Amino acid sequence: MSRAAERLRTVIHHLDGATASIRASPTSAQTLTYSPPQKLRYSFDTGILTPEQRLFYEENGFLVIKNLVSETDIDRFRKEFEQICQQKVKVPGLIVMRDVAIAKSEFVPDQRAVSKLQDFQEDPELFRYCALPQILKYVECFTGPNIMAMHTMLINKPPDAGKKTSRHPMHQDLHYFPFRPTDRIVCAWTAMERVTRQNGCLVVLPGTHKGTLKEHDYPDWEGGVNKMYHGVRDYDPNHPRLYVEMEKGDTVFFHPLLIHGSGMNQTQGFRKAISCHYASGDCYYIDVRGTTQENIESEVKDIALKKYGVNELAFQDMWALRGRLVQGERTSL
Tens-level pLDDT at each residue, the chain (333 residues): 555 555 545 544 544 444 333 333 333 344 444 455 567 899 999 999 999 999 999 999 999 999 999 999 999 999 999 999 888 999 999 989 876 555 544 445 555 678 899 999 999 999 999 999 999 999 999 999 999 999 999 999 988 766 555 667 899 999 999 999 999 999 999 999 999 999 999 999 999 999 999 988 777 655 455 556 678 888 888 999 999 999 999 999 999 999 999 988 999 999 999 999 999 999 999 999 999 999 888 888 777 777 667 777 888 998 999 999 999 999 998
Give the number of C-alpha atoms closer than 13 A to the C-alpha of residue 322, restricted to the C-beta side.
Answer: 25
203, 240 Cβ separation under 8 angstroms: no
Decide if 62 is inside a domain.
yes
Decide if 91 is inside a domain.
yes
114 shares a domain with 174: yes
197, 265 Cβ separation under 8 angstroms: no
* pTM score of the predicted model: 0.84
State the Cα–Cα distance between residues 25 and 89, nearest whole angstrom. 60
Question: By residue range, what is the domain housing residue 196?
Answer: 51-327
155 shares a domain with 24: no
Decide if 333 is inside a domain.
no
| Counted domains in the chain | 2
| Dihedral pair phi/psi, residue 80, rounded to 5° | -65, -40
Decide if 45 is inside a domain.
no
235 shares a domain with 112: yes
176 shares a domain with 66: yes
User: What is the CATH number for 224?
Assistant: 2.60.120.620
235 shares a domain with 152: yes
Decide if 332 is inside a domain.
no
247, 66 Cβ separation under 8 angstroms: yes
14 shares a domain with 57: no
67 shares a domain with 4: no
State the Cα–Cα distance between residues 173 and 189, nearest whole angstrom. 13
257 shares a domain with 151: yes
Decide if 264 is inside a domain.
yes
